[in-house]
Structure 1
Amino acid sequence: MNKLARYRRVISITAILLILVTLSNHSYAETEEPFKLEAKSAILLDAITGEILFEKNIHEKLPPASITKIMVLLIAMEDLDSGKIKLDDKVQVSSNAERMGGSQVYLEAGETQILDDLLKAVCLRSANDAAVALAEHISGSIDVFVQRMNDRAKELGMTNTHFKNATGLPDPEHLTTAYDISLMSRELLKHPKIHDWLTIYMTDIKVGKNKDVTQTLVNTNKLIRDYQGANGLKTGLTNDAGHCLAASAKRGNLSLISVVLGGPTSNSRFSESKKLLDFGFANYESLPICRKDEVVKKIKVSKGKGNIVNIVAESDYSLLIRKGDSREIEKEIILPEKINAPYEKGQKFGEIVLKNNGKEVGRVNLVTEEGMNKASIIDMFKKVTTMFLGNSK
């Protein structure tokens, strides 16, 4: 090999090494954590879009302690919305609920509690006896309710979750992940009514068969009192689980959810949740695009009892953007000029396509505000008659 060839080879190898070092450094900078957490597992995400902003071991299966009760509350809220249960329901407390132990409000077997107060006891004190009384009222037995918890978890895509009880009390098979907790937390926050309980800092309820004992409930989630915009969610603590917290907060249009599992101390779960939320609020903003049921356009209907239908947004939709990024979002509405009856309420007929600098960044389904039946012969006759009379004036 002559000197020129050897020189070229050295230059080539050096260039390759420089490129590899540059790529290695770039990769580290992109993945480097903005801060360190002591918690075993943690996640931060946008509550509206579900976009993950920070993660640490988010799919590691861990005991969740009383964060379990987020699923209890979700099922309760869904049943309240459907009318299956009501806030003034009188709930008979069983001996099974009475002997739950752990965090409790000391319900007595045979006493009657209104459902509203049970929700307060679950949200503020994380009361195991109240959670079991609530579960038994909803499903008739704790076993049936826990099965419903697991079924709902599957529906939400919580693939690494298995519930064995409604309390979070220790069981080696009772496991979930920070990511799965974020999924059920997002779903719970779709029910605005839940904040009526989650944001209470202190209140009283009466317990006992004679309602002669006052239990003062203080919210175990300290962020409700000392973090701007905090509006939930749930603490958890057992020896196996460590100190846990699923937290939520809203400032302006931005709603965030953080989850920390396996913290070493109570203070750490709150301080690390604040770190996560602070990071989100400092670096991101939410750009509202449309509201659920907002009328986007009116389009013609062919062969229907009516002539026009309102097309509405299927859901609230916002775009998560980094502060300082371009806010110039293009909206392309894709809809037919007319649709044929019959169709159902909420039937999809189009989309809003969102683009930023020519790149697609999101889609929103467009659906019918109301359903419409196909016009009968009599309906068609009335339409023609009305049209004729209108034109003849």
Structure 2
Amino acid sequence: MKRMLCALLSAAMMTSAAFALPEMGALHAKSAALYAANGQLLYEFNADEPLQPASVTKIMTMLLAMEALERGDVTLDTMITGSEYACSMGGTQVWLEPGEQMPLNDMLKAIAVGSANDCAVAVAEHLAGTEAAFVEKMNTRAKELGCTNTQFVNANGLDAAGQKTLTSARDLALISVELLHHPKILEYTGIWMDSIRGGAFSLANTNKMLKSYPGMTGLKTGYISEAGFCISATAEREGLGLIATVMAAPTKEDRMADATALLNYGFANFAVYTPTDEDLTPIPVTLGKVKTVTPQLEQGSLVVEKARVGELETKISLPESLPAPIEKGQKLGELTVLDGGETVLTVPLTATEEVGAKGLRDILGEFWGSLLYHQDTSNI
């Protein structure tokens, strides 16, 4: 039931009406996108061009690791062993030695904070047996998330034997949206400085916006000469979560400037609208062990232009009565949010409690009780 409701909410939010967006100034990067954390597109610039993401690739590596944690396949204490191959990556790394073991918790720190290529491959090998098998999982997951311009070739984003990872600003945003469904990842991507190996090896976050941009929470930067400077940057203010993806910026400063411009644009022009259930009343239940069931509004919100918040209307659709039995969490109806008559969000209304159906004994008991009551009152 919970998964079904989540799917309904996601579909509603992803099919919201397109916004007539305000103007935004020119960007330095080749491609960019701005999404709300709930998956709504707020702004795009050349967002479907396939480009190299460099180490921003690691958001997918981290997503698969977080999903493995959620399934219970691994724990943060699971020891990850560095193979000869993982230790040979080069680029940004923590200099794993072949056979060296490190808990997944430290591996995630090294990947999220230090962008460690060797740790990314070591985690991939542990989760899937080989990096190649892990890459298959990366590409399968990308397709599941609706990515249409993505082809991963490894777990870290380095060029590999003539092969190049390609993705787009939109696809990176979609992966980032999914990664934020695992809020624990922000405990890693939001670290400014830390250490591993019992304090012997220091880590400094490559995302310098953590110190310069108010509300910044993560996620991941990337750079190789052929890809340029890339970032998936997440920030939150007043309940509004945003994801800005920037690809192929000419310089580190341009990358930061573009991400800042996108996030400023989002916070200046958009707000979270959350409908309330203050107008909901109990619904009569036919042949129920209790007479009514109380509907509740499932969690759902919409990101809208600030100027339009006051123009939104809500419509509640519920039956006049319902037959028993009713399961707790059962969908009873829906609340629809309208903008100029157009549906922009649909949120399920569900039962707050279980209502059992009356059995024959209950019905007969009520009948005889009613009959005796009328006999008693007629003798008064």
Which TM-score applies when normalising by structure 1?
0.79
Between Structure 1 and Structure 2, whose CA radius of gyration is higher?
A: 1
Q: Secondary structure at the match of 2:171?
A: helix
Of 354, 359, 366, the match for 1:380? 359
Matches within 5 A, 1:199-214: 199-206=190-197, 214=200
Report if aligned partners of 1:348, 1:366 keep a CA contact under 8 Å in 2.
Answer: yes
Correspondence 1:258 to 2:244: yes
Runs of 5+ unmatched residues, structure 1: 1-29
Please name the residue that 1:125 is paired with: 114
Distance 2:212 2:124 in 1: 31
Instruction: After TM superposition, give the deviation of residue 124 of structure 1 in Å.
Output: 0.3
Q: Secondary structure at the match of 2:266?
A: helix
Q: Could you list the per-position Cα deviations for residues 250-275 of structure 1 after superposition, in whole angstroms to 9, with x for gaps in the alignment? A: 11022111111001111111111111
Q: Which moved more, 1:255-264 or 1:357-366?
A: 357-366
Distance 1:83 1:231 in 2: 26
Instruction: After TM superposition, give the deviation of residue 312 of structure 1 in Å.
Output: 4.5
Q: Which moved more, 1:225-234 or 1:105-114?
A: 105-114
Q: Secondary structure at the match of 1:104?
A: coil
Q: 1:269 to 1:330 in 2, by over 3 A?
A: same
Instruction: After TM superposition, give the deviation of residue 303 of structure 1 in Å.
Output: 7.6
Correspondence 1:248 to 2:234: yes
Q: Could you list the per-position Cα deviations for residues 179-220 of structure 1 after superposition, in whole angstroms to 9, with x for gaps in the alignment? A: 1111111111122211111111001110xxxx6x71111111
Please name the residue that 2:15 is paired with: none
Please name the residue that 2:10 is paired with: none
C-alpha RMSD of the superposition = 3.2
Q: Secondary structure at the match of 1:95?
A: coil
Of 31, 38, 42, the match for 2:32? 42
Of 170, 175, 184, the match for 2:166? 175
Q: Secondary structure at the match of 2:119?
A: helix
Q: 1:264 to 1:305 in 2, by over 3 A?
A: farther
Q: Which moved more, 1:337-346 or 1:247-256?
A: 337-346
Q: Secondary structure at the match of 2:147?
A: coil
- Sequence identity (%): 42
Q: Which moved more, 1:295-304 or 1:188-197?
A: 295-304
In structure 2, what residue type is equivalent to 1:182?
A
Please name the residue that 1:143 is paired with: 132
Correspondence 1:112 to 2:101: yes
Instruction: After TM superposition, give the deviation of residue 364 of structure 1 in Å.
Output: 1.8
Q: Which moved more, 1:61-70 or 1:357-366?
A: 357-366
Please name the residue that 2:303 is paired with: 319
Of 248, 254, 258, the match for 1:272? 258
Q: 1:169 to 1:363 in 2, by over 3 A?
A: same
Q: Secondary structure at the match of 2:200?
A: strand
Please name the residue that 2:16 is paired with: none
Q: 1:327 to 1:220 in 2, by over 3 A?
A: same
Greater relative CO (CA pairs within 8 A, separation 6+): 2
Please name the residue that 2:344 is paired with: 361
Matches within 5 A, 1:1-393: 34-52=24-42, 54-171=43-160, 172-206=163-197, 214-289=200-275, 299=283, 311-322=295-306, 324-339=307-322, 348-367=331-350, 380-381=359-360, 383-384=362-363
Aligned length: 351
Report if aligned partners of 1:295, 1:311 keep a CA contact under 8 Å in 2.
Answer: no
Which TM-score applies when normalising by structure 2?
0.81
Instruction: After TM superposition, give the deviation of residue 295 of structure 1 in Å.
Output: 12
Q: Could you list the per-position Cα deviations for residues 99-127 of structure 1 after superposition, in whole angstroms to 9, with x for gaps in the alignment? A: 12111111122122111111111110111
